[in-house]
């Protein structure tokens, strides 16, 4: 049996390639947005809350795919920054419903064009005909492992 070269293996490793692509995407995001503005996950939370106002933090986990403890910390930081507000839900006094503040709405609107440029720049690395398939495939991977509880 011929020994597999380490470089060859990494070139075909989904975990390695997804990690590297994620690093590149994060660098592009940070370069496009002013330092300290938002992280990709904070943007995802703002965007999701704007589309589904009044979600509980548990529902936010389901919509964003961010794990519970990380999401709780993100929400705490965004509350301190005045981007979100929360109140107890009517149906469960233990749960919080999350809503954007006026500042959260302003920050989301200001960041949206930059985030769109980041998405466009990342996708521009692919031939135009492959972009929709790429997004679909990433969605399939995320959904498969979220559904199985192995995310």
Q: Which domains does the chain have, with CATH numbers?
A: 8-122 (1.10.10.10)
Q: Higher confidence at residue 94 or residue 23? A: 23
CA distance 69 to 18: 23
Q: Higher confidence at residue 6 or residue 25? A: 25
Determine contact, residues 99/55, Cβ cutoff 8 Å: no
Whole-prediction pTM: 0.84
The SS3 of residue 19 is helix
pLDDT tier for residue 1 given thresholds of 50, 70 and 90: very low
pLDDT tier for residue 150 given thresholds of 50, 70 and 90: very low
């Amino acid at each position: 049996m011929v020994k597999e070269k380490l470089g060859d293996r990494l070139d075909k490793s989904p975990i390695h390639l997804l990690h590297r692509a994620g690093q590149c995407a994060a660098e592009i995001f940070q370069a496009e947005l002013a330092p300290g503005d938002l992280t990709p996950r904070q943007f995802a939370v703002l965007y999701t809350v704007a589309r589904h106002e009044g979600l509980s933090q548990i529902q936010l986990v389901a919509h964003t795919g961010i794990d519970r403890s990380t999401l709780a910390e993100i929400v705490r930081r965004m509350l301190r920054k005045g981007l979100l507000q929360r109140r107890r839900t009517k149906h469960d006094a233990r749960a919080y419903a999350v809503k954007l503040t006026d500042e959260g709405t302003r920050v989301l609107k200001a960041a949206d064009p930059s985030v769109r440029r980041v998405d466009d720049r990342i996708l521009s690395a692919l031939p135009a005909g492959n972009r929709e398939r790429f997004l679909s495939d990433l969605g399939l991977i995320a959904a498969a492992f979220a559904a199985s509880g192995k995310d």
